[in-house]
Structure 1
């Protein structure tokens, strides 16, 4: 679990670094060359713009629609992550018994602990790293969407001196600027907390710590990033909350008992 937490922290740090490693001060256009602009940033910018124009030049609605489209595209991975998380949650009692059985800190005992834990995962076809794949998939999408937002003149007029249009408003905020009332960052943090709470593995101190750290980080980022990106987080979190609610049926997260072939109750 500590490795997973470290991986998440590394990816977040990488996202922050990468947002400054490209030409964010240049408007995104169809003639932009380079793999990143041509295949990641421009398609998202074009999609937001096209949908916004079809909806009466509402770029807020365009971002919402693109967010839902992206979530639907990665839905199979997210379903797999949700089921894997719930399966890990169902195995917590057995994992606790194994940890108590091999509580000694010597190397030989710890090797037995790891071996028996892996045997438990294999017995119930649970991959403890399955939840990491969606993180790898989402990270370049999130970075590309950040670039699409910050480099689309209709959303952020400052990026293109030749653009004469007015900044795009949505609800109470400008999409290209941070929310002046900090309402959207707080909503982003709250929905992040709810979404993580629904998927949290019980009796796990590291996950409980992450439950509070992630919303705080999201609030901090959303308070300074363009509101359009915070809007993406809010809609994405709401999508995940609804998705988790419907995916987490009575049999999801339950593992079959090796002896009876039935399902263990939580």
Structure 2
């Protein structure tokens, strides 16, 4: 689990580094140069504009529709990642038993531990890296969409519902909803594991707080994108991990009684 957390943080840092060298402070147009701009950010920006034109000029609805399209497009990757996580979680007792059996820190014992662990993976047909590959594809798409929203000038010139898309939500409703949906989504994703891992339990509370703090100063268009993405993830997680979530809820209810 620690390795996965470090991997996610590393991917975010890498994408931030790449995008930081890609004219992120400049509006995205057909004349923007660089691989990141030409093949990821601009096509997504153009898609938002075209969908808005189809919807009668509503960039708010366009952000919602395009967010759903992108989430549906990467849904197979998310399902694959979830299945891989479940498989690894199911092997945790056996992996822990191997660690206890080969607890010595000498080199030969550790090599034996690695060999036995790999045999365990092969026996159950589990690839420990399978859950990482979907992330490598998802992160550029999601971060690219984030940049497309923040760098498309037309979006900042329009309003949606009670807020201007290019300015922070004046009533802080979107930031609070973004934080709440982040908490719900993470709670559902971590069903059955957060109580066993202090680091994950801490992230369960830290992430929503960070999202609220950032969303208060971010353009409302970005907060809208985050909220829609979270709602999609909540529905997706419910259908994928429904039995686990119900089981954990049942245990919590039984404990209260």
- Bin of the TM-score, shorter chain as denominator length: 0.7 to 0.9
Q: Using the alignment, how far apart are the partners of 2:4 and 2:128 within structure 1?
A: 9
**Aligned pairs for 1:134-145 within 5 A:** 134-145=134-145
Q: Which of 185, 204, 217 is matched with 1:211 structurally?
A: 204
Which residue of 2 is the match for residue 244 of structure 1?
Answer: 237
Q: Using the alignment, how far apart are the partners of 2:23 and 2:71 within structure 1?
A: 26
Scaled by the length of structure 1, the TM-score of the pair is: 0.78
**Aligned pairs for 1:121-160 within 5 A:** 121-156=121-156
Q: CA deviation at 1:65?
A: 0.7
CA contact (8 A) 2:47 2:66 kept: yes
Q: Using the alignment, how far apart are the partners of 2:165 and 2:237 within structure 1?
A: 28
Q: Using the alignment, how far apart are the partners of 2:17 and 2:209 within structure 1?
A: 19
Which residue of 2 is the match for residue 257 of structure 1?
Answer: none
1:228-261 C-alpha deviation (Å, 9 max, x unpaired): 222222212221221222233669xxxxxxxxxx
Which residue of 2 is the match for residue 192 of structure 1?
Answer: 182
Give the match's secondary structure for 2:215.
helix
Q: Which of 192, 201, 221 is matched with 1:228 structurally?
A: 221
**Aligned pairs for 1:20-169 within 5 A:** 20-156=20-156, 167-169=157-159
Q: CA deviation at 1:206?
A: 4.0
Q: Using the alignment, how far apart are the partners of 2:181 and 2:60 within structure 1?
A: 19
Q: Using the alignment, how far apart are the partners of 1:174 and 1:87 within structure 2?
A: 45
Q: CA deviation at 1:77?
A: 0.8
Q: Using the alignment, how far apart are the partners of 2:226 and 2:38 within structure 1?
A: 24
Q: Which has the higher contact order (CA 8 A, sep 6+)?
A: 1
**Structure (1 or 2) with the greater helix fraction:** 2
Q: CA deviation at 1:66?
A: 0.7
Q: Using the alignment, how far apart are the partners of 1:143 and 1:250 within structure 2?
A: 31
Which residue of 1 is the match for residue 255 of structure 2?
Answer: none
Q: Using the alignment, how far apart are the partners of 2:105 and 2:178 within structure 1?
A: 41
CA contact (8 A) 1:82 1:244 kept: no
Give the match's secondary structure for 1:126.
coil
Q: Which of 150, 164, 172 is matched with 1:174 structurally?
A: 164
CA contact (8 A) 1:86 1:199 kept: no
Which residue of 1 is the match for residue 252 of structure 2?
Answer: none
Cα–Cα, structure 1 residues 205 and 108, in superposed 2: closer, same or farther, change >3 Å?
farther
Q: Using the alignment, how far apart are the partners of 1:243 and 1:180 within structure 2?
A: 30
How many residue pairs get aligned? The number is 241
1:62-116 C-alpha deviation (Å, 9 max, x unpaired): 0111111111111111110111112222223323333333344444443333333
